[in-house]
Chain A
Amino acid sequence: MGKVILDGVTKRYADVTAVNDMNLDIRDGEFVTLVGPSGCGKSTTLETIAGLTKPTEGTITIAEKEVTNLPPKDRGIAMVFQNIALFPHMDVYDNISFGLRLRDYPKEEIDRRVERASDIVQLEGMLERMPDEMSGGQRQRVAIARAIVREPEVFLMDEPLANLDAKLRVHMRTELQRLHKELDTTIIYVTHDQAEAMTMSDRIAIIDGGELQQIDPPLVCYNEPQNLFVAGFIGSPSMNFVEGEVTASGLSTPDFDVEFDPGQLSGVTPGDALTLGVRPEDVYLREKSENVSNPTQPIAARTDVLEPMGDEIFVYLLTGDADPTMEADDAMPQNQLLMSVDPSSDISEDTDVEVVLDRERAHLFDTETGDAISHSLEFAAVEPGPAGTEAEGDD
């Protein structure tokens, strides 16, 4: 069965550690996405699974067979590449059947499988074309057909949609999901696009700096990020972060305070530096917050820039004295708060407003370590620990 287990996989080059102690346990038939910024080690991780790169340490098991020292061809895997990597000197049929021909399958068997694979990806009637006579989307289908024709235990996909145009990319996303349903094979998918990861995966593995940050189903990653990196990486636009200090009655930030009982958070004492995280959709105009059962105290702010997206409006707010406070290496003003509001909202730039945060959906992180402390201000603590731990008192 197509289980994939990475145990302590580390890949060091002369001067950098690309992957550090990676542990993954991927179930049979699961669609797992490795996601992270470029250079985070996600592609290297995939290459070690493929056998294109040999790990410095650790073992890899595919379908209950240890494959750490096996060449790619003996691992029962197929792979789809970012640059599509069709052999330009072969027509579609030869490209798709390449792996089967190498393994001396009988002609009828090859024909049958190629026909079925090209059927699945809707390439009928194109088997005699050369790759350079096809569109980007068609080529990508050939690459996928080349992978599925081998009926592998595991599919590896390295940013397969990155080179396609936006429209085609969205379309291919649904095709891949359909394909996964149809084939019921394990898929390990690498992307830097968190939206792709969110929409397609059973679980997302978020990687940064060569290390696994969190592996959980998309909504768990979204709602209960285990650390600041995950919280900031998943979700678009990003979560708002405000740094503050724990007081006896909550968290004090430069421009506003939020209240909670620090005594109920284990390991937190007044004076600790914590970061408040809140997603744009959990920031409300005070007058529209009637559905929020547990709002914070109103926070005074001034609207800065509006970004109407059609189905919602992004409102950039400046808290405090309403001048952006920035330091040299800040990407955005420290006192900026992003709010997402209904398009019907009557709101304009440069006006004073009051906003509230949804206490049940605000997060607290240790500023120093970045670890999540709580995924709600309505209480109790999240035990810092293994992936997928349910936050208690979420309701």
Chain B
Amino acid sequence: MLKLSKESMLGLILIALFLLMAAIAPGFLDSYNLSNMMFQLPELGILTLGMMVVIITAGIDLSITFTAAFAGVLAAWSMSHHYPVAVAILIGIGAALLCGLLNGFFIAIIGVSPILVTLGSMVLFEGVILTITKGNAISGFPESFSEIGNMSVGPIPLPIIIFLALAGLTGLLLNRTIWGRSVYKVGINPVAAQFSGLSVKKVLLGVYLFSAFMASIAAIIMISRYNSAKVDLGSSYLLLTVSAAVLGGTEISGGYGKVLGTVYAVAIFQVLSNGLNLLGIPRTVVDILMGVILIAVLTLNFFSAKMNHNKSLKVSPR
């Protein structure tokens, strides 16, 4: 029997969905719509890459979207105060890394559970942003900055190039570096990792810094695309990032997760939501369908894992 990995299965589903939508959704294959999808995908995609790495360590980063909003607001603030674009971007990234450091400190060094720390920092960051902006949007950026989110290299939008580059980078980091391999080990069993000589603290700190970095890049693309930054920038992405990471095959209990699966999962979400919108299906129903599909896939994953497990149990006594 042909063995397919979780990831290639997702790839096949993606292709099937794409073909299906091309057949039934009017205007799906239009060049405008295709580039539209390539512009929409990277924001969620980059955030999801950050979330995936956190989930591999059996953690979660609920503050990821507000970290992004914080970075976005600070970068926007810098630009509205006439700092050069490059400086503003660095300020944004720096701000996000500070957020990541804060999360990482409490989770890795103090040892508080990730869901509690990031829930707290989510509210904290939101409060700080509200204090800075008083709920208003910051807008009016230089023309050169809006190029980042709106430019295309030939027919390919720049944001998707950034996304693919970051996906490649994440893959390299996870598979080819000591830190990356340690991330998986910490996810499987932090105690064993500790005793085998890994510095679990450093690994975890790195993980939250990484997710914050991804959040800041997503933020830069978002504020460039929307020409404005506000406290709720991208807040609707929070649970989507978790869903996409898990749909992409990342184990919520840690230890497993691949960049390729995540990229496929994000693309599946994108094709689904775009196609369903083109079909004129009400957005509330789209949300329901996404939920149903997510639960169905996860349930199937669970059962197939269980059956594999049973099979190996039966085989082993021989």
- Answer yes or no: are A and B bound together in one complex: no
Interface residues of B (CB under 8 A from A): none
